[in-house]
Amino acid sequence: MAVPGVGLLTRLNLCARRRTRVQRPIVRLLSCPGTVAKDLRRDEQPSGSVETGFEDKIPKRRFSEMQNERREQAQRTVLIHCPEKISENKFLKYLSQFGPINNHFFYESFGLYAVVEFCQKESIGSLQNGTHTPSTAMETAIPFRSRFFNLKLKNQTSERSRIDDQLNTLLKEFQLTEENTKLRYLTCSLIEDMAAAYFPDCIVRPFGSSVNTFGKLGCDLDMFLDLDETRNLSAHKISGNFLMEFQVKNVPSERIATQKILSVLGECLDHFGPGCVGVQKILNARCPLVRFSHQASGFQCDLTTNNRIALTSSELLYIYGALDSRVRALVFSVRCWARAHSLTSSIPGAWITNFSLTMMVIFFLQRRSPPILPTLDSLKTLADAEDKCVIEGNNCTFVRDLSRIKPSQNTETLELLLKEFFEYFGNFAFDKNSINIRQGREQNKPDSSPLYIQNPFETSLNISKNVSQSQLQKFVDLARESAWILQQEDTDRPSISSNRPWGLVSLLLPSAPNRKSFTKKKSNKFAIETVKNLLESLKGNRTENFTKTSGKRTISTQT
């Protein structure tokens, strides 16, 4: 306790009365300037007291005068529930901005309270004007302007940064390492060698979380067979009266062309691809692909072609990730949280995808005040001629030069953002509204899909069309529960030495009932082991062994 003057036990009339009704509170006058102590003694010795030694101090005032004076004092006084650890000086400095303080004292009674008497009544109005009504995900507050306040610590650097540290640690531990990224590019290059047998000028480009900076160790390797170089060969201008064309086979649609190319490449990888196993041709999907495991690297690979928009989406996410250091840490934590609660899965189905979750975080950060991320439309207005890009009739123009984008003025901590993210989506009107990062505001849903997240480039499409109502409800319930857990931690945060799971770790634990019995019954060792295993499992299905070599981490992966 940072409050000086601890230990002076005083019986306040107020508490003496409460003692008869409620469990005996510990009442401790923690700080009491002389004037207050005098007042209190007066309080304890009403007119007619028989105790000796005090009679001469009893003011010779009428009862009504005394009452009026007391009432007037009380009207200039506020009652504040304080955090356990509070610096008295900072507390007084903070309150003095609302007006001069006549006197104050602290006492304990099921928490720490401060009684603060201002010199002027007007100060109370200005304190009330600087006070907000709290909102929680689970309950509705009835707004009421009283003189009974709850004081919370803001920017408690050592405390707050503990959760911020957790989020940053998670990012550092699970983000793709330099070596892992190199291995991803090498794998693409090896597949490119194979594809070059048919398409000599092709490029196999990684996209998705391997390159958008949101990739977690163990994430799949999305590849895109880029045939634009082959298509654009006609650009070579040759003089003369003739125009030479390749003889080609025509098919009815772009989709059929994609299916044919992938079908042949799938066969090729299956029959001749060194280290390529478990090849599956998934050609009837909305976006046809060949899925296989690349044994040597340990990556689960998805090869697509004609998927330039996805590559552009990766570039957009890369820009958003680079604009503010909080973006990646928040996306990572939300992705890990979703994985820990089986909201996402590596098997396709009715669940939310990591891509959708990332869009939700970006949208949420666009909605902060001031915004942490700009809307896609504002990135478009910053674009120059070089950035102009239209793919299959879709406008994919946005600024690529990061230096042209102004940094955000928002200074909110990661802890606050995580909590607010859960509150925001725990209360989002999913039944009415869609999420749209292009405009950065909610819009009416164009159809009845439970979750509608507008595709940023193909604006008539919903990237979360697959999500069922029950999966969305699970997300909402967990978001509310997580907001509540973080809210509780504001008031009931374990000490640094405690081994009780807290902050992000408590959010990653399986479910609420388990969490309760977990904290009550199991030993600390078990707690630490469970969280460790949980975090291990977050890496994905494959085992990834880390060895530290001269301070640099190297990674070997195996299926």
Of 340 and 485, which has the nearer Cβ to ligand GTP? Answer: 340
State yes or no: residue 124 binds ligand GTP (CB under 6 A): no
Looking at 113, 292, 355, 430, which residue binds ligand GTP (CB under 6 A)?
355
- Among 55-63, 131-139, 205-213, 256-264, the segment contacting Mg ion (CB under 5 A): 205-213
State yes or no: residue 382 binds ligand GTP (CB under 6 A): no
CA distance 150 to 166: 27
Looking at 10, 166, 209, 344, which residue binds Mg ion (CB under 5 A)?
209
| Cβ-proximal residues to 130 (8 Å cutoff; 6+ apart), any chain | 98
Burial 96-106 (b: 16+ CB within 10 A, else e): eebbebbbbbb
State yes or no: residue 454 binds ligand GTP (CB under 6 A): no
Binding mask 145-174 for ligand GTP (x = CB under 6 A): ------------------------------
Tokens 């799938």 sit at which residue? 266
State yes or no: residue 364 binds ligand GTP (CB under 6 A): no
| Binding partner selected for residue 449 from ligand GTP, Mg ion, none, CB under the kind-specific 5 to 8 Å limit | none
Assigned token pair, 83: 């955090």
State yes or no: residue 219 binds ligand GTP (CB under 6 A): yes
CA distance 188 to 226: 12
Binding mask 193-212 for ligand GTP (x = CB under 6 A): --------------xxx--x
Contact 450, 469 (CB under 8 A): yes
State yes or no: residue 297 binds ligand GTP (CB under 6 A): no
Contact 437, 359 (CB under 8 A): yes
Of 14 and 310, which has the nearer Cβ to ligand GTP? Answer: 310
Note the maximum CA span of the chain.
125
Contacts with ligand GTP by CB under 6 A: the residue count is 18
Tokens 């509310």 sit at which residue? 480
Contact 181, 187 (CB under 8 A): no
Q: End-to-end CA distance of the chain, in Å? A: 53
| Binding partner selected for residue 398 from ligand GTP, Mg ion, none, CB under the kind-specific 5 to 8 Å limit | none
Contacts with Mg ion by CB under 5 A: the residue count is 4
Give min distance, CB of 209 to ligand GTP, in A: 3
| Cβ-proximal residues to 225 (8 Å cutoff; 6+ apart), any chain | 195, 199, 202, 203, 204, 261, 262, 265, 303, 304, 305
CA distance 193 to 83: 64
Cα Rg of the chain (Å, integer): 32
Point out which residues pair with 80 in neighbouring strands.
Answer: 114, 149
Binding mask 149-188 for Mg ion (x = CB under 5 A): ----------------------------------------
| Binding partner selected for residue 310 from ligand GTP, Mg ion, none, CB under the kind-specific 5 to 8 Å limit | ligand GTP
Assigned token pair, 412: 């909110």
State yes or no: residue 455 binds ligand GTP (CB under 6 A): yes
Looking at 168, 187, 306, 313, which residue binds ligand GTP (CB under 6 A)?
313
8-state DSSP, 276: E
Backbone angles phi, psi at 205, to 5 degrees: -110, 135
Give min distance, CB of 542 to Mg ion, in A: 14
Binding mask 216-235 for Mg ion (x = CB under 5 A): ----x-x-------------
H or E stretch at 291: strand 289-294
**Which residues lie near ligand GTP (CB under 6 A)?**
207-209, 212, 215, 219-220, 222, 309-310, 313-314, 353-355, 455, 458, 463
**Which residues lie near Mg ion (CB under 5 A)?**
208-209, 220, 222
